Amino acid sequence: MTKRVIIAGITGSMGQKCADLIESLTDFELAGVIAPDLTADCPAAKKLSSETKLFIDLKDLTLAADIWLDFTTPQAVFNNTKFALEHHYRPIIGTSGLTETQISKLQEIAAKEQMGGIIVPNFGLSAVLLMKFVQMAAQYFPDAEVIEMHHEDKLDAPSGTAAATAQLIAKSRLEKPLAPAAHVAARGADYEGVKVHSVRLPGYVAHEEVLFGGPGEALTIRQDSFDRASFMQGVKVALEHVSELSELVVGLDKIL
């Protein structure tokens, strides 16, 4: 049966790419889209089928749909996900910026509503694998720092991927790091004792490097998204499998 999808953030870079993806898939249709400045004559709306409903505010959104695909902003994502769960749209959340406390709260709501869904810090396969590999490395190299590099339009820092990577390193370490955690700006932000450095430059898309250091040796793990196309296979997998989830999970590896 065809699954009906709502895209939140349709006027953005990822929202646009996801609309094209859904258009190309036979088992999915774009039932509705939402963005605060959306108008019927804006370029994002003009490309859509006349069947797709346009919304600018959650309070007006009443629609029969199966899936909520969110690429909005760190400010909007918590309320959007809550709304999706409470209206029984299965959330696929690509937007960065959810804190651990917010994720726990959303997982509680999902359990109460008996809804499954997925929060994906990064849909790129190279980033999913990087996050697997860093967990292994952190068991042997407790000293690690993360450098994330993104395009100049990225609003938030550090990236959701870097925050998730730092948390995975912190959880996987078996010993305390040796390096002192000096709290000065030049040493980066501190995520559970893992330093994270954010770079914003034109020409970049989305990149992450994790440096591990030990006595007399070092290990570097790096991934690069050179194009947003790198995220679309992961979005497709999430669309295909989100309905199999019975809780709100974090990470694309949960359904790969």
Ligand X SMILES: NC(=O)C1=CN([C@@H]2O[C@H](COP(=O)(O)OP(=O)(O)OC[C@H]3O[C@@H](n4cnc5c(N)ncnc54)[C@H](OP(=O)(O)O)[C@@H]3O)[C@@H](O)[C@H]2O)C=CC1
| Residues from 95 through 114 that contact ligand X (CB under 6 A) | 95-97
Alpha-carbon torsion (69, 38, 56, 106), positive or negative: positive
Neighbours of 113 (CB within 10 A): 16
Beta bridge partners of 212: 144, 219
Kindly state whether residue 160 participates in binding ligand LZUJQKHR, applying the rule CB under 6 A.
yes
Instruction: Please tell me whether 180 is known to bind a ligand.
Output: no
- Which is nearer to ligand LZUJQKHR, 113 or 224 (by Cβ)? 224
Say if residues 158 and 194 touch (Cβ distance below 8 Å).
Answer: no
Instruction: Please tell me whether 124 is known to bind a ligand.
Output: no
Kindly state whether residue 159 participates in binding ligand LZUJQKHR, applying the rule CB under 6 A.
yes
| Active site (catalytic) residues | 150, 154
Exactly one of 72, 81, 165, 223 binds ligand X (CB under 6 A); that residue is 72
Instruction: Please tell me whether 55 is known to bind a ligand.
Output: no
Q: At residue 145, what is the residue type?
A: E
Neighbours of 75 (CB within 10 A): 11
Kindly state whether residue 13 participates in binding ligand X, applying the rule CB under 6 A.
yes
Which range of residues in 32-40, 131-139, 152-160, 196-204 is near ligand LZUJQKHR by CB under 6 A? 152-160
First to last CA, the chain: 22
Q: Which of helix, strand or coil describes residue 256? A: coil
Q: At residue 142, what is the residue type?
A: P
- Which is nearer to ligand LZUJQKHR, 16 or 122 (by Cβ)? 122
Exactly one of 206, 210, 237, 252 binds ligand LZUJQKHR (CB under 6 A); that residue is 206
Q: At residue 184, what is the residue type?
A: V
Residues annotated in a binding site for NAD(+): 9-14, 94-96, 120-123
